[in-house]
Amino acid sequence: MQLQVKTSPFDEEQVELLNRLVPSLTSEQKVWLSGYLTALTAGGTTEAVLQSGDEATLSTAPIKTREITILVGSHTGNGVTVANKAEAKLKQEDYTVSRFSLDEFKPKNLTKIEDLLLITSTHGDGDPPDNAIEFYDYLHSKRAPKLEGIRFSVLALGDSSYEFYCQTGKDFDKRLEELGGERLFPRVDCDLDFEEPSSEWFEGVLNKLNEEKALSSSETSGKQQTAGSPQTTEVYSRSNPFEAEIIENINLNGRGSNKETRHLELNLEGSNLTYEPGDSLGIVPQNDAVLADQLIEAAKWNPNETVTINKQGETSSLRDSLINTYEITSLSKNLIEKAAALTENEGLKKLLEPNEKEALQTYVYGRDLIDLTQDYGPWEISGAEFTAILRKIPPRLYSIASSLKANPDEVHLTIGALRYDSFGRSRTGVCSVQCAERSVPGDTLPVFVQSNTNFRLPQNTESPIIMIGAGTGIAPYRAFLEEREEIEAKGDAWLFFGEQHFVTDFLYQIEWQKWLKEGLLTRMDVAFSRDTSEKIYVQDRILEQSREFYEWLEAGARVYVCGDEKYMAKDVHEAILTIIQKEGGLNEEQAAEYIADLRSQKRYLRDVY
């Protein structure tokens, strides 16, 4: 479209020049010109000198931008993934960026920050992740400084099936404002399907920053594409998982066990995926087709109805979408609130009343969408419309049980099949039972690597390590020892492992015994809770070795805990505190400070779920 003389503020000659110039500009040149004019309008001293010929140059006086600090509190590594992308993009846009894990950042440096992007997950019942505890406590203490002049934006990661959804991010957002900070961009809360909302949050932040910045094209001018550029390699990630072929799928438990623990070996050849011991592998699972059919029948939906499954307009049948796309096996307050608007059932609306909070929590625990439909349906909209209130099936993360050095192009997993009865129906874990019952060698699973820098072996291979785990919590320690065997680590290694029965449930027993014999594993203490009249757990074994455990701590040992958070990890934590008090002659407060110091030194690391 060309400028018209009658409607523009330019004279006829200027209009002609603009109409000749603008259509010939590249998008990059338009961006530069926009920033250049903005700077002039703001009274800046920017000057442009344009010369003809091959030596054409664009010169601008640089416009100072505020330094951006990214702080990350992460448990599973999702926050780190978002932070990495944000840091890379900001640097591409010529911003000065510093990024820290919250346990690496000195809280007293808060007042030196100009623009703060805080990315944090929420752990357990609304608690900050382990690497954010010290910063969280400092910020909510009387020592926290006034933060006038600091701008901030918070990205909160969470799981809406929990009562205190994104609570840590909400707390940080509120506290930063209370201390005088200015909100650069509103907080965004992300569910397990965090890619899209986190991208929208970052774009909002970036747009706000770019509004204040006159962009320079000096760094990008003169760049030319060259013929014969190498082809880009496809990058596999959470949003683009790799279809990994199953090589082995073995039940690790013996006959008669109450449990079924699968050892999966997957082929990563051609994926360019790499991992380190301590990382997790994400699997994008499918719902059981039988369960999807039962839901369709209960809701009286048409299984062949067309459903739009994403913003790109891709479609699927309702049945396929309930198998491959949407979560149907769990309930949350958020889902109940949306479903209540789709029915006249007063019982469901009553469940959301403030005085029914406990009843709501009781109802959502152990029930799924079939229960909700049978109890409070039918819904007054079609199945395709109903899917709009459902969230996507979240990937399942499993601690990697192998070393890439020991198993090139492979990744191994240890997955406990979840089966239980609840409210008159048999239930199964979405991903664990897919792996146990519906995945055989030759099949593929869509996977991606989830880095976890908060659960790493010490760089000093002579440092002692203490590994504590129960059940499938043994997985990362198998990866640790495979790695230490490959790099010929010399440091002592002590393993505590717990399960139900020695005969049927001693996972990877032959491998541990081999490493013990070879000296790679210095010692191993086991607890099989159902083999004795009095149940013995890993925390009991730790307390039995109180003195030696403390001596290892004093010698610089790094302690790892992997497994169930609500019971095992909590009890282990209390056992370690007890040992520190007893053997160190410390009171409760001093023992807590000892633990906090271990955390700050990255010597107390947990991968709990």
CATH numbers and ranges of domains, the chain = 1-55 (no CATH), 68-211 (3.40.50.360), 242-286+395-450 (2.40.30.10), 289-389 (1.20.990.10), 465-608 (3.40.50.80)
d(CA 389, CA 442): 35
User: What was the pLDDT predicted at 363?
Assistant: 95
3-state secondary structure (DSSP) of residue 534 = coil
User: What was the pLDDT predicted at 553?
Assistant: 98
pLDDT band at 220 (very low <50, low <70, confident <90, very high): very low
Provide CB contacts within 8 A for 95, sequence distance 6+.
65, 67, 68, 209
Residue type, 312: Q
User: What was the pLDDT predicted at 227?
Assistant: 40
pLDDT tens across 236-246, in order? 999 899 999 99
3-state secondary structure (DSSP) of residue 392 = strand
Per the annotation, binding residues are 74-79, 121-124, 157-166, 329, 396-399, 414-416, 420, 429-432, 529-530, 535-539, 571, 609
Q: Which helix (H) or strand (E) holds 251?
A: strand 242-251
> Which residue, chain included where needed, has tokens 């406590």?
137
| CB distance 495 to 512 below 8 Å | yes
Query: By C-alpha distance, which of 451, 448, 480, 458 is closest to 562?
Result: 480
User: What was the pLDDT predicted at 228?
Assistant: 43
User: What was the pLDDT predicted at 17?
Assistant: 65
Provide CB contacts within 8 A for 91, sequence distance 6+.
97
CA distances from 201 to 154, 208, 383 (A): 9, 11, 30
What's the rounded mean pLDDT across residues 205-211?
89
Provide CB contacts within 8 A for 449, sequence distance 6+.
273, 274, 275, 279, 280, 281, 282
User: What was the pLDDT predicted at 221?
Assistant: 40
Evaluated on CA atoms 164, 168, 173, 176, the torsion sign reads positive
In this predicted structure, the answer to whether residue 45 has a pLDDT above a threshold of 90 is: no
pLDDT tens across 404-434, in order? 999 999 999 999 999 999 999 999 999 999 9
In this predicted structure, the answer to whether residue 62 has a pLDDT above a threshold of 70 is: no
The runs of H, that is alpha helices, within 278-382 are 289-299, 318-324, 333-340, 346-351, 357-364, 369-376
In this predicted structure, the answer to whether residue 364 has a pLDDT above a threshold of 80 is: yes
In this predicted structure, the answer to whether residue 232 has a pLDDT above a threshold of 90 is: no
3-state secondary structure (DSSP) of residue 247 = strand
User: What was the pLDDT predicted at 26?
Assistant: 54
| Terminal alpha carbon distance of the chain | 58
Q: Of 136-145, 250-259, 543-552, 596-605, which range is least confident? A: 136-145
Q: Of 6-20, 325-339, 363-377, which range is least confident? A: 6-20
User: What was the pLDDT predicted at 12?
Assistant: 61
d(CA 105, CA 159): 26
3-state secondary structure (DSSP) of residue 131 = helix
In this predicted structure, the answer to whether residue 9 has a pLDDT above a threshold of 70 is: no
Per the annotation, binding residues for FMN are 74-79, 121-124, 157-166
Q: Is the peptide bond before 186 cis (omega within 30 degrees of 0)?
A: no
- 469: which strand partners? 497, 562
Residue 334's Cβ-side half-sphere holds a number of Cα atoms within 13 Å equal to: 17
pLDDT band at 214 (very low <50, low <70, confident <90, very high): very low
pLDDT tens across 534-548, in order? 999 999 999 999 999
Residue type, 8: S
Per the annotation, binding residues for FAD are 329, 396-399, 414-416, 420, 429-432, 609
CA distances from 390 to 281, 326, 331, 334 (A): 25, 6, 10, 10
User: What was the pLDDT predicted at 15?
Assistant: 58
Q: What is the pLDDT of the chain when averaged over all its residues? A: 88
pLDDT band at 477 (very low <50, low <70, confident <90, very high): very high
User: What was the pLDDT predicted at 380?
Assistant: 85
Confidence (pTM): 0.76
pLDDT band at 162 (very low <50, low <70, confident <90, very high): confident
d(CA 408, CA 398): 19
d(CA 609, CA 595): 20
Evaluated on CA atoms 305, 310, 313, 316, the torsion sign reads negative
pLDDT tens across 286-305, in order? 999 999 999 999 999 999 99
User: What was the pLDDT predicted at 419?
Assistant: 95
CA distances from 412 to 176, 253, 438, 453, 474 (A): 42, 16, 18, 19, 12
pLDDT band at 97 (very low <50, low <70, confident <90, very high): very high
pLDDT band at 315 (very low <50, low <70, confident <90, very high): very high
User: What was the pLDDT predicted at 53?
Assistant: 41
pLDDT band at 31 (very low <50, low <70, confident <90, very high): low
3-state secondary structure (DSSP) of residue 237 = strand
Q: Of 106-115, 459-468, 554-563, which range is least confident? A: 106-115
Per the annotation, binding residues for NADP(+) are 529-530, 535-539, 571
What's the rounded mean pLDDT across residues 84-104?
91
| CB distance 568 to 470 below 8 Å | yes
